[in-house]
Amino acid sequence: MIALIQRVLEAQVRVDGQTVGAIEQGLLALIGIVASDDAISAARLLQRLLDYRVFADAQGRMNHSLRDTGGGLLLVPQFTLVADTRRGNRPGFSTAASPAHAAPLFDELVGRARSAHAQVASGRFGAHMKVALVNDGPVTFWLTSGSGADREAAE
């Protein structure tokens, strides 16, 4: 699994004019799922999302995690993160998980996140979403669950 994370002051996701997920200060995580991902990938990625140190300590250094700060986590499915863009002018999606495989894994990630962290919101899998955010920094990182397939997608 892949997550493009952004440290935000606030973020929200709207579908058909309705807000389906919103957070204040925390992390917006755009989630890409590759065909070889599984529940173990979701668990590993969630651990990285909660423990990755991107929030400032008293000296202004990135030493605090989402778990430390208690900030919000907004998870948004985004299959375009796993696109193959190495050649040509059109992205390829052969490494992306099928919707039938990816939807339950995204739900697994959201469920695990809600069990492990107090403030979790999400976008809607398969919907056309409008994402709004106020990036804090900006601070943006690319994380993976560590599986071979998501490393290949990142190369």
Peptide bond into 138 cis (omega under 30): yes
- Identify the helix (H) or strand (E) that includes residue 56: strand 53-56
Catalytic residue among 19, 80, 85, 140: 80
Annotated active-site residue 6? The verdict is no
Query: CA angle 108-109-111, nearest 5°?
Result: 65
Known catalytic residue at 19: no
Helix or strand run (H / E) with residue 112: helix 99-116
Of 145, 135, 144, 154, the C-alpha closest to 6 is: 135
Active site residue 18: no
Q: Which of 55, 79, 106, 125 is catalytic?
A: 79
CB 13 within 8 A of CB 21: yes
Which of 12, 78, 95, 144 is flagged as catalytic?
78
**Residues recognised as catalytic:** 78-80
